[in-house]
């Protein structure tokens, strides 16, 4: 978790020139035709991550709302099993 804060701090500290330099390097490495595919894959990954988080939040929310279920314990009917002595 601590690593996420470090990464967020690094990204927040990037200026316009640094972002343009990174975009240029990515363009050189992957080429113009691969970038849309790369971005689509990243978008799908982010969407899946958000859906997973929402599912976990819903599960936590639903578990908090549930009241403990009352179970009714049945006592065995011993009167029916007994036959009259006689």
Asked, for residue 68, whether it belongs to a domain, the answer is no
Q: Say how many domains are in the chain.
A: 2
Can you give the pLDDT at residue 29?
86
Do both 22 and 41 map to the same domain? no
Q: What is the 3-state secondary structure (H, E, C) of 24-76?
A: HHHHHHHCCCCHHHHHHHHHHHHHHHHHHHHHHHHHHHHHHHCCCCCCCCCCC
Summarised one tens digit per residue, pLDDT across range 6-34 is 655 666 677 888 888 888 888 888 888 88
Backbone φ and ψ of 15, nearest 5°: -95, -175
Do both 1 and 26 map to the same domain? yes
Residue environment code for 18-28, b if the CB has 16+ CB neighbours within 10 A, otherwise e: eeeeeeeeeee
Do both 24 and 5 map to the same domain? yes
Do both 45 and 24 map to the same domain? no
Asked, for residue 9, whether it belongs to a domain, the answer is yes
Asked, for residue 44, whether it belongs to a domain, the answer is yes
**Domain that residue 8 falls in:** 1-30
| pTM, two decimal places | 0.43
Asked, for residue 36, whether it belongs to a domain, the answer is yes
Q: Is 84 helix (H, G, I), strand (E, B) or coil?
A: coil
């Amino acid at each position: 978790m601590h690593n996420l804060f470090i990464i967020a701090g690094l990204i927040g500290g990037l200026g316009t020139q640094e972002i343009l330099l990174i975009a240029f390097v990515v363009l050189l490495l992957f080429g113009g035709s691969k970038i849309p595919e790369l971005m689509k894959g990243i978008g799908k990954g982010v969407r899946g991550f958000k859906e997973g988080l929402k599912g976990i939040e819903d599960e936590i929310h639903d578990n908090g709302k549930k009241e403990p279920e009352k179970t009714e314990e049945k006592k065995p009917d011993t009167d029916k099993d007994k036959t009259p002595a006689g």
